[in-house]
Amino acid sequence: MQVYKVKRNQNIFDVAVSTHGSIEGIFDLLINNPDLSFHSQLKEGEEIYWDEEFIIYDSIVNTLQAEHIVPANGERHVYYKNTTAPLRCVMYISPEEASIALQMAGDGSLIVDWGDNSDLETITLSPTLQKYVHFFDNYTDERSIKLYGDFNLKTWDLSSINGLMMPTMPLVVDEIISEKNNLSLQG
């Protein structure tokens, strides 16, 4: 008997693919977890029991593990995301980008709308340079990332961002680092 810890945004079908390589593995999950049903809302960190003797496609399981791919098709938030915090900056990047990394140091709380189906993310800034990475969960024709909140930036490393950055109100940054990228600043 094995234990699987549910990841963010996973449903029972995602867990079956992760553990058994096919949604057919759902039957093993239902047998080994009597409280589980097709309609169960799984929570991140929840433990699911499964039997590795019933792996259906081990090549799929091995590939998912080797490539660090986590099937996650849970609830999607495709509607407008509301916040009362002021909009400070909008960044437009290529829709082909699979991820973005914000590297910042400062103080206050930064609220990020990543421009995909994920919830708004609140980041408490640190006085030392930190890297905040986000992997996009959808494909789109245009990708915009919006930064909201009451925060001050000490350092902002823009080197990994290629695109257009548009501050929507005064945005004071003590030190901007921008190396080997294709970034346009407009205000």
Dihedral sign from CA coordinates of 23, 25, 31, 32: negative
pLDDT on residue 161: 87
Mean residue pLDDT across the chain = 88
pLDDT in tens, 23-45: 999 999 999 999 998 888 888 89
Would you list the domain boundaries of the chain? 2-66, 87-185
Q: What's the CA gap between 92 and 186, in Å, rounded?
A: 11
- pLDDT at residue number 31: 94
Q: What per-residue confidence (pLDDT) applies to 178?
A: 86
Q: Over the stretch 112-138, which tens digit does the pLDDT of each residue have?
A: 999 888 889 999 999 999 999 999 887
Distance CA 163, CA 155 (A): 19
Q: What is the pLDDT of residue 7?
A: 87
What secondary structure letter does DSSP report for 140? -
pLDDT, position 49:
95
Mean pLDDT of 138-151: 89
**In whole angstroms, what separates CA 129 from the centre of its chain?**
20
State the Cα–Cα distance between residues 8 and 105, nearest whole angstrom: 27
Q: What is the pLDDT of residues 40-79, one digit of tens each?
A: 888 889 999 999 888 889 999 999 888 888 888 765 555 5
**Whether the Cβ atoms of residue 139 and residue 132 lie closer than 8 Å to each other:** no
Distance of CA 121 to the CA centre of its chain: 9
